[in-house]
């Protein structure tokens, strides 16, 4: 990790207060991931609708702002020029296009607030991976994060099930009754985080403690099963297999094509089933529910709306939940216009920032990390970290075929940006244990 962003050993002065320095680094990393995983509203009461205000959730805005300022202050004192390696052209073009979509948005103020939050999330992800002193330190802190969140989730399930398990009284989705969600607001958020914790457990087992890693994998894997999230449960073994193959193939092109072909195939089998009769017929033969629990209706609605504004989209994160969509499209006669997102990250991007914006963001978060993985030196000290970041990126890419995680908000999104930046750092800098 050469402090995971240190390009040469000369970038850091000699530490005279090593104990205090380590404490500060540990506290900032721990606080960052606990805030992201637990949020400022854990154990939500889903029996009542969440209050929605034009200003957004002020505690969340203040909390993320303070976190961003704390990380920025640390980075300013520890050679902030290390971040310049992340400012690659594809990132700048993607951010510029998203900024233009804010201007063209039909809800400019909403888009502007969410774009600011995205920039803050990207900044947090970039800065936090500069803090660990080495790979072992990073593994220790992430093990603590996983164990704390898992402990809270299991505590909630056993002692506060009404706030940790979906109930028949849930206001929006009573059909999820019995699915575990822990501290999270939805079982899909919980399941995605549990998959990430499985990856972290495998990483911890290699760089910190085999026993500790096994415990994390066992606890996260068990919780994942009780979320009953088909997408996350299916994606976990797929990612483990693909990442193992990518690490062993001699030709980078083969590994990259394999990873991207799966993204393409899943989208054809899912969204493509709405428009291609042979695909729909095939799914009818092999699946008990070829609508993917009603997602096909949402996909068709989203594609139809996207084609009306294919270049600029409707504005950054400014489509779902807006009055124009809920009350002005479909007359509230179908459930698709009341959905929270398109249940497909690539389609959601095209819907909100246009097809060009979707392509740029996908290149930045999905395609370029695969190239960076093969550019990184696969030595003994850096291999576990490279594999962790690769698995995070692959999981986000596959999860995005059924959920909307490519816009950097939430736990998986921050981990995805961290993984993207981590692979970028590793492709240009050395790693220390």
Give the tens place of pLDDT for each residue, 274-312: 888 888 888 888 887 777 777 888 888 889 899 999 999
Q: What is the pLDDT of residue 243?
A: 96
Any domain includes 61 = yes
Any domain includes 200 = no
Across the range 375-381, mean pLDDT stands at: 76
Give the tens place of pLDDT for each residue, 110-133: 899 889 989 999 999 999 999 999
Q: What is the pLDDT of residue 49?
A: 67
Distance CA 417, CA 423 (A): 10
Any domain includes 137 = no
User: Element (H or E) spanning 368, and its range?
Assistant: helix 368-375
Calculate the average pLDDT of the chain: 88
In the predicted model, is pLDDT for residue 25 greater than 70?
yes
**CA angle (30, 32, 37) in 5-degree steps:** 95
Whole-Å CA distances, 283 to 99, 193, 320, 397, 402: 39, 29, 28, 22, 16
Distance CA 400, CA 372 (A): 20
**φ, ψ for residue 325 (rounded to 5)?**
-85, -50
Across the range 47-74, mean pLDDT stands at: 77
Any domain includes 190 = no
Q: Count of domains in the chain?
A: 1
Distance CA 297, CA 337 (A): 10
Q: Which residues on adjacent β-strands are paired with residue 180?
A: 165
First CA to last CA distance, the chain: 7
Any domain includes 177 = no
Across the range 202-229, mean pLDDT stands at: 96
Any domain includes 365 = yes
Distance CA 144, CA 200 (A): 11
Any domain includes 323 = yes
Whole-Å CA distances, 54 to 107, 111, 216, 408: 11, 12, 40, 21
Q: What is the domain range of residue 118? A: 9-132+230-428
Q: What is the pLDDT of residue 99?
A: 95
Residues 6 or more apart from 427 whose CB is under 8 A from it?
372, 373, 375, 376
Any domain includes 158 = no
């Amino acid at each position: 990790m050469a402090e995971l962003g240190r390009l040469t050993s000369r970038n850091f002065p000699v530490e005279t207060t090593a104990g205090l320095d380590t404490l500060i680094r540990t506290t900032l990393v721990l606080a960052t991931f606990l805030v992201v995983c637990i949020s400022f509203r854990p154990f939500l009461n889903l029996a009542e609708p969440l209050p929605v205000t034009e200003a957004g959730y002020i505690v969340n805005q203040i909390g993320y702002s303070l976190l961003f300022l704390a990380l920025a202050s640390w980075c300013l004192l520890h050679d902030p020029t290390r971040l310049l390696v992340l400012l690659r052209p594809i990132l700048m073009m993607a951010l510029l296009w998203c900024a233009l979509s804010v201007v063209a948005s039909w809800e400019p103020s909403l888009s502007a607030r969410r774009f600011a939050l995205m920039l803050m999330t990207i900044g947090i992800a970039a800065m936090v991976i500069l803090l660990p002193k080495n790979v072992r330190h990073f593994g220790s802190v992430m093990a603590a994060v996983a164990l704390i969140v898992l402990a809270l989730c299991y505590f909630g399930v056993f002692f506060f099930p009404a706030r940790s398990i979906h109930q028949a009284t849930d206001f929006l989705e009573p059909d999820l009754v019995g699915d575990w969600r822990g501290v999270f607001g939805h079982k899909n958020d919980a399941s995605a985080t549990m998959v990430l914790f499985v990856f972290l457990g495998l990483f911890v087992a290699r760089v910190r403690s085999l026993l500790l890693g096994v415990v994390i994998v066992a606890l996260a894997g068990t919780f994942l099963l009780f979320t009953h999230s088909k997408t996350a449960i299916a994606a976990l073994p797929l990612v483990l297999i693909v990442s193992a193959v990518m690490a062993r193939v001699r030709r980078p092109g083969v590994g990259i094509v394999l990873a991207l072909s799966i993204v393409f195939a899943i989208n054809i089998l899912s969204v493509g089933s709405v428009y291609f009769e042979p695909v729909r017929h095939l799914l009818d033969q092999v699946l008990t529910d070829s609508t993917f629990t009603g997602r096909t209706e949402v996909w068709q609605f989203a594609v139809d709306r996207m084609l009306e504004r294919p270049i600029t989209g409707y504005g950054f994160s400014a489509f779902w939940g807006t009055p124009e969509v809920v009350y002005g499209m479909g007359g509230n006669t179908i459930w698709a216009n009341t959905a929270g997102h398109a249940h497909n990250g690539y389609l959601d991007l095209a819907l909100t920032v246009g097809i060009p914006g979707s392509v740029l963001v996908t290149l930045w978060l999905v395609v370029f990390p695969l190239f960076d993985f093969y550019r990184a030196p696969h030595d003994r000290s850096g291999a576990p970290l490279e594999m962790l970041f690769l698995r995070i990126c692959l999981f986000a890419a596959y999860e995005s075929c059924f959920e909307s995680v490519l816009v950097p908000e939430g736990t998986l999104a921050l981990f995805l940006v961290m993984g993207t930046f981590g692979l970028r750092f590793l492709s240009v800098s050395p790693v220390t244990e």
